[in-house]
Amino acid sequence: MAEAQEHKKPGMPWRVKFAILTMLVVAGVFFPTTVLICGCMIPTFVAALIDNAQPRTAWLTVGCMNFAGSIPAWLSLWQNGQRLDQSFELLMQASTLILAYGAAGVGWLIYFNIPPFVAGILVLRNEKRLKDIEKRQAALAAKWGRDVAGY
């Protein structure tokens, strides 16, 4: 009996299966919205495919901005009845795609520019902290002697 339990393959947890099933049902019920959002979110799918730097955060940064740019089209679809033909009509409008894909472009700008900016701030802060420690160490050496300072 113990051997049978050892050879049991780890499967997908039931919560994950339930979440996938729920998402598929919701996607089917709101099919026009699903079509519109999937069409608008293509840059996010591309970011998820091409991002191989660890941790894989490009899809998240691009996706959040891309989703924000897709919201006006989504609201327009829901205000006008959520019909499939209207979903395709919205996807064919240049303004919808410019807004959604432009927001994804802003997401890429954030992804490439914010980490170096934050890293630069952290380097400057740590350099200042190091200088403060060196000043304090020099003051202690002047007060107690160089033998106590350890250098």
User: Which residue ranges make up each domain of the chain?
Assistant: 8-113
Nearest-CA neighbor of 73 among 130, 35, 21?
Answer: 35
Give the separation between CA 105 and CA 102, rounded to whole angstroms.
5
Q: How many CA atoms lie within 13 A of 107 on its CB side?
A: 26
Q: Report percent pLDDT > 90 for the chain.
A: 70
pLDDT of residue 10: 76
pLDDT of residue 147: 74
pLDDT of residue 8: 62
pLDDT of residue 142: 85
Convert the pLDDT of each residue in 79-119 to its tens digit.
998 899 999 999 999 999 999 999 999 999 999 999 999 99
